[in-house]
Every structure is written in structure tokens, then in C-alpha cells.
A and B are shown apart, each in its own frame.
Chain A
């Protein structure tokens, strides 16, 4: 009885979370330029315009380049940090990890502005490279959060057994640890990729004249004429995100199963 009411509330809450997003496909296929009811009819024109758009294509390539590179860098750096924080004790560990995880609790505008000021002062021209630098910084804490879970569930005796059997530090890492944390690494790559692909503030201030998907969307939202195309693009992005997350969740669960933990669910 009591939990019935709660269930209803939770379902309504989910509906509230999803309702705005469901408008995307609805109006992406709607044959009208104004986002309002009643719907006018079915069209794929907006998707056609989206594919034919040259600037959009450039923004898409830029975003992919940035997201791939940032995901790789963040995950590589994250492996070092996660391994250091879960396996070793050393002086200054808490402040060091605190600094690395700081972007999680810092408003993005502060990160973006301070980076911009320094880049301009040092004289590094703004490009997709500078966006990669910023995205790596903000993806790193998320990567570390995921990777730390993977590393902390490792049984230390497995590693010691490998040493006893004559493996070196590196070969033990490659043959024993890496396969065990692989699902965590894949999950971290996908998560960082998704974060970078969606990130707006840092890209907006650090990209110079290069468009990325979010900054291009932002520039187009001012023109009512291009809104339906943005709805189509939004639909594609949502589908892409959901796909990536489903794959990430699959790997996370496999990792949990592989190291024999109890599944608590969730990414964070």
C-alpha cells in the first residue's frame, strides 16, 4: 500500500525527467517550422538539411576528434591516479587527489575562464587542441571515480602470486591487473567521450573560431528558422548518448561480475 504510492510517484518523476526529451523526435519529424501543437505531418526534411549542412559536418568532426582524444588522455591519466590512490600510501596523497578531483566541485565557468586567461597570456592560439586540454581536465575526475572502483576491487594477492611466479612488475600489470580492470577502462573511455561530446562552456570559450557540436547548436538556437534542424540533431545526439551509455553500463556490469562484487548499480 505504502510502497504503491511511492512507486506511482517514482514513475511520475521519471515521466517528468523524460517528457522534454520526448519532444525531440516528435518535432524532428514534424512538418512545420514552429515548435508547437498540433503536429503538421511527417517529414524527414530536417534530417536531410542536417546531413547537407557543411558547418555542421565540420562541427561534428571537430567534436569527434576532441572527444576521442580527451577520452583517451583522461583515461590514461586516470589509470595512474586510480592505481596510485588505491594501491599506494604516500605523503601528500589527500591534497594531490583533492586537486585532481577539484573540477567536480568547481563551476565550469571558472575552469574555462581561468584556462582562457592563462592561454591568452602564454600566447597559445585557441583551437580544438586547447579544447582537448580543458576537456581532459574535467573528464579526469569522472574517469578516476570509475577506475578507482575497478582498481579497489582487485585482490592484492593475485598480483603477489604473479610476482611469486616470476612475473616482473610490468608483465604482472599487463597480464593480471589490466585484464581485470579492462571493463572499467572501457567504461571510463565511453563516459569521458560522452561528457566531452556534450560539454559546452569550455568548448565555447576555448575553441576560438572552430565549431563543436554544442557551440554550433548554441549559435543556431537564436534563429527560429534553424530550430527544427536542431531538433533533428538533438534526436541523433540523444540516440547516440543512450547507445554509448548502454554499452558503458554493459561493461560496468561485466566488470562487477568479473571481480566478484555485489552489483550496487549506477555510474556515480
Chain B
């Protein structure tokens, strides 16, 4: 292709992308850079002092409360990811291999509906389910010879948060795994069995490695929003088990220490990025095995 033709196409493409790009630059890139800049500023009374300092990071990284909250966020997000992905895999496998082609869209539709119903209400429903006078306790009390509220209060702890979040993000995990499974060439599986592998070994040595990119994608899609979740620690944790989002919010608004809040937000983003890169690196290794 000649050079001027490419230039014309490039110009057209750039003109075409500019409205959404300018929007994203103004309302996403600029705010993120502002946060980054704030995290190196000093906090004054009612204002931010524009003087470079690393104090915010020093304070944050040496603060035992920050350690505890960050560790809790990572542990909760990891547990939720593990539970969601492990539970979702058989469903995705079933969808891809056992459901007839014309019924697949209906199954996917059924799985996505709960995800689009108000997140806030779904989280709140778990509060109602697990509360001392809640659905589970009152249902079990209906059985003969069971005392009032046999399980007591099941809220305000990490387990309750994990159950709630795992339920909230379940459909997220199914879709990427399903897409990866759909891409698998079915003749490879037949070849595996023709060469004398058992069904289980074919699954272990052919299906699972080929599905791995989908599993990694599912892991990321669940992990990232979970670690930054604000509502569940607030409602299900009752404010007693804050996660990083709650700590960022408290510093930004209630304590009015924007530089500190920014430093916490940036640190959280860095940790999320590192974990994501580890997952992506694992994915690359699996892809290499494939070639």
C-alpha cells in the first residue's frame, strides 16, 4: 500500500477516535494523574500543599492498620476468586460441551440475568439472609426441636463477605471460561482419545491447558472489582471489617486528608497491577506450553 493512502486512513482513524479519546483523557487520565500527583503532596489544613514529599507512602506502608486492611482485601479477593472460578468451571464446561447449540444462548441469558439486577440489593439480600433474625435462622427454627436462631449472627465477618461477593461475581467467571472452551478444536479431544488416553486424562492434558486463558481471564475479572469493593464491607461487614476502598474513602472524605487517600489509592492500584501481572505471566507460560 502506498504511503499517502495510509496517511489518509490514519488521519481518518484518528479523527474518528478523537471524541471518545478526548473524553477518556479528560475524565479518566487527568483524574488518575491528579491522584498520583496528590499522593506526593503534603496535607495542610483545608488545603493541599504542593510540596513534594514521600511521607504519605512512608506513613501508609508503616501503618499496621493499613497492613491489616490491605491484607484483608487481598485475602478476601483471593478467596472469592478461588471459590467463584472453581464453582464456575463445571458450569462453563457443561454449557460448552453438553448443551445443544440452539439452547446455549438461553442458558447464557439465564446466567447473566442475576448479574444485571441491582448489585446493592443483592448484597443487602445476603444481609437479610444471614442476620440473627434473618431468613436462614428463621427457616431452621421452623424445624422441630430447634432453638431460636441456632446459628446466631452470621454477619460482620470475612466469611460472610466472601459468600456475598462470590455470589455477586459468579456470572463474571463463567463467561470467559465458556468462551475459551468454545474455541477448543473438538478434533483434538478425539485425537487424544484415539491415541489411547482415558477421558479423564484427555481432560487433564488437553482440555484444561487449552481452557487456561479463559480461567486466567475469569480470575482477573473477579479479582479486580472484588478487591476494590466498597458496599459489601459496609453492609455485610457492618463497617467492622473495612477493606481498602473503605479506607481510601475515609481518608479522602471523612478525615479530609486527600494526599493520604491518594497515596492509599495508588498503593492499592500498584498491588492490584502486580497481582494481575502475575496472573498474566502465568497465562503466557500456559500459552507457551501450547505452542
A1 shortest CB reach to chain B, Å: 11
Given known A-B contacts A10-B90, A241-B116, A85 and B31 have beta carbons under 8 A apart: no
Given known A-B contacts A24-B121, A89-B13, A217-B120, A37 and B139 have beta carbons under 8 A apart: yes
A27 and B127 CA atoms in complex are apart in Å by 14
- Contact (Cβ within 8 A) A20 B116: no
**Nearest residue in B to A3 (C-beta to C-beta)?**
B98
Which of these binds chain A: B58-66, B186-194, B261-269, B281-289? Answer: B261-269
- Contact (Cβ within 8 A) A10 B94: yes
- The A53-89 residues at the B interface (CB cut-off 8 A) are 76-78, 80-81, 83-85, 87-89
A227 and B235 CA atoms in complex are apart in Å by 14
- Contact (Cβ within 8 A) A78 B20: yes
| Total contacting residues, chain B, CB less than 8 A | 94
A76 and B20 CA atoms in complex are apart in Å by 9
* A99 CB within 8 Å of chain B: yes
A140 and B157 CA atoms in complex are apart in Å by 35
| Total contacting residues, chain A, CB less than 8 A | 87
A9 shortest CB reach to chain B, Å: 5
Chain A residues touching B, majority SS: helix
Chain B residues touching A, majority SS: helix
- Contact (Cβ within 8 A) B175 A23: no
Given known A-B contacts A17-B167, A23-B135, A118-B34, A217 and B116 have beta carbons under 8 A apart: no
The interface residues of chain B lying within 8 Å CB-to-CB of A223 are none
- Contact (Cβ within 8 A) A110 B265: yes
The interface residues of chain B lying within 8 Å CB-to-CB of A16 are 167, 170
B230 shortest CB reach to chain A, Å: 5
The interface residues of chain B lying within 8 Å CB-to-CB of A136 are 23, 27
* A198 CB within 8 Å of chain B: yes
- Contact (Cβ within 8 A) A237 B121: yes
| Contact for B258 among A2, A111, A117, A144, CB less than 8 A | A117
Q: Chain B, 14-38, contact with A by CB distance < 8 Å: what is the 0/1 string?
A: 1011111101110111111011001
* B241 CB within 8 Å of chain A: no
The interface residues of chain B lying within 8 Å CB-to-CB of A245 are 109, 112-113, 116
- Contact (Cβ within 8 A) A109 B248: yes
- Contact (Cβ within 8 A) B9 A117: no
A266 and B112 CA atoms in complex are apart in Å by 8
| Contact for A20 among B129, B248, B269, CB less than 8 A | B129
- Contact (Cβ within 8 A) A21 B114: yes
| Contact for B272 among A107, A205, A267, CB less than 8 A | A107
B104 shortest CB reach to chain A, Å: 5
- The A102-141 residues at the B interface (CB cut-off 8 A) are 102-103, 105-111, 113-118, 121, 133-134, 136-137, 140
A16 and B91 CA atoms in complex are apart in Å by 13
A194 and B119 CA atoms in complex are apart in Å by 12
Besides the known contacts A17-B167, A113-B261, 16 further A-B residue pairs in the complex with CB atoms under 8 A apart: A16-B167, A17-B111, A21-B122, A37-B135, A38-B142, A89-B10, A90-B10, A105-B220, A107-B228, A113-B249, A117-B31, A117-B34, A137-B24, A200-B231, A227-B128, A265-B109
24 A-B contacts (beta carbon < 8 Å) = A2-B199, A3-B94, A17-B114, A36-B134, A37-B139, A38-B142, A80-B19, A89-B13, A90-B9, A90-B14, A107-B224, A110-B265, A115-B31, A117-B252, A200-B119, A200-B120, A214-B118, A214-B120, A217-B120, A217-B124, A237-B118, A241-B116, A265-B105, A266-B178
Residues of B within 8 A of A (CB): 6, 9-14, 16-21, 23-25, 27-32, 34-35, 38, 87, 90-91, 93-95, 97-98, 104-114, 116-122, 124-129, 131, 133-135, 137-139, 142, 167, 170-171, 175, 178, 182, 199, 220, 224-225, 227-231, 235, 245, 248-249, 252-253, 258, 261-262, 265, 268-269, 272, 276
